[in-house]
Amino acid sequence: MYINWEGPLITINPEHGTDLQFQGNPPKGIKVPNYGNFGGPLISGEGGGPVDSLDELFQSHDAEILKASQDAGGLTPQELVHAHAVLFEGIDDLPINKDGLLLGDPEATLYAGFTLFALTASVMQLDELDGPNDLLDQFDAQLQLAPGALDDVSAALTKAAQYMEIGLEAVPSNESKGLNGLFHIWEHQFDDFIA
C-alpha cells in the first residue's frame, strides 16, 4: 500500500490532469496523493528508490521526460506523448491477480487507473495548447504500435475505469474521496472513449 494519503497532495484539474500552465497546482482542482517515490507530478525519488513495479514504471517515465527536457530543444509535446504511451504499456504489462488487482494491491490498481485518466487528460490539454499537431491521434497511434491490450486510447480509458472501480471498492472511502470524485468526472468527460 503505497499511496501517500498524508501528502504532499497534488492538485489535479479534472479537465486537464496536472495543468501545465499552473505547475501542478491549478485553480479549481481536486487534491490527490502521490504514489510511492515517483508516482505523480512534482516528485521524483525524493523518498528513495521505487517501492514496487508500478513505481519503477513511474521512475522510468520521469527519467525519459528529464532526459528529453535536457536536450537542446527541450521536451517536445511528441516526446511527452511517447513517454506517456510507454508508461501506459508498462502498466498494461503488470501482473493482475484473480481479483483484478494489479500487483495484488488495491492502491496500485487505483493509482494505475488514475494515472491512465490523468495523463490522457494531460495529452488532450497539450493537444489544445499545441495547436494542429493532433497529439491525441499521435498518442492513439503510439499505443497501437505496441503489443498488448491497450491498443488505443479508448482501450486505455476502459482499462482505467476498470482499475479505478476495482481499487475504489477495496480502498477505504475516507482516504480515496478525491480520487473517487475525479473518477466520476472522468467517466463523464471520457464517456465517448470508454467501452
Using alpha carbons only, give the angle 39, 161, 32 rounded to the nearest 5 degrees.
35
User: Does some domain include residue 194?
Assistant: no
Looking at residue 15, what is its pLDDT?
67
Distances (CA, A) of 172 to 95, 127, 159, 165: 23, 35, 21, 13
Residue-number span of the structural domain to which 29 is assigned: 3-189
Using alpha carbons only, give the angle 6, 20, 154 rounded to the nearest 5 degrees.
85
User: Does some domain include residue 135?
Assistant: yes
Sequence-ordered strand ranges (E) for the chain: 3-4, 10-12, 30-32, 34-35
As given in the structure block, the three cell numbers for residue 90 are 508498462
User: Does some domain include residue 121?
Assistant: yes
Q: What is the mean pLDDT of residues 100-126?
A: 91
Burial of 49 (0-12, 13-18, 19+ CB in 10 A): exposed
Cα 172 to its chain centre, rounded Å, is 21
User: Does some domain include residue 151?
Assistant: yes
- For the chain, the average pLDDT equals 85
Q: What is the mean pLDDT of residues 103-124?
A: 92
Rounded distance between C-alpha atoms, residue 80 and residue 65, angstroms: 7
Percent of the chain scoring above 90 in pLDDT = 43
Specify the DSSP element, H or E, that contains 19: none
pTM score of the predicted model: 0.89
pLDDT in tens, 20-47: 444 555 566 788 899 999 998 778 887 8
Per the structure, the count of domains in the chain is 1
User: Does some domain include residue 195?
Assistant: no
Q: What is the mean pLDDT of residues 129-158?
A: 79
Examine the pLDDT at 19 and tell me if it is beyond 70.
no
Contacts of 132 (CB under 8 A, 6+ apart): none
User: Does some domain include residue 182?
Assistant: yes
Contact assessment for residue 40 and residue 33, using Cβ atoms and an 8 Å cutoff: yes
Looking at residue 20, what is its pLDDT?
47
pLDDT in tens, 34-86: 999 999 877 888 789 999 999 999 999 999 999 999 988 888 888 999 999 99
Contact assessment for residue 42 and residue 54, using Cβ atoms and an 8 Å cutoff: no
User: Does some domain include residue 123?
Assistant: yes
Q: What is the mean pLDDT of residues 102-107?
A: 96
pLDDT tier at 172, thresholds 50, 70, 90: confident
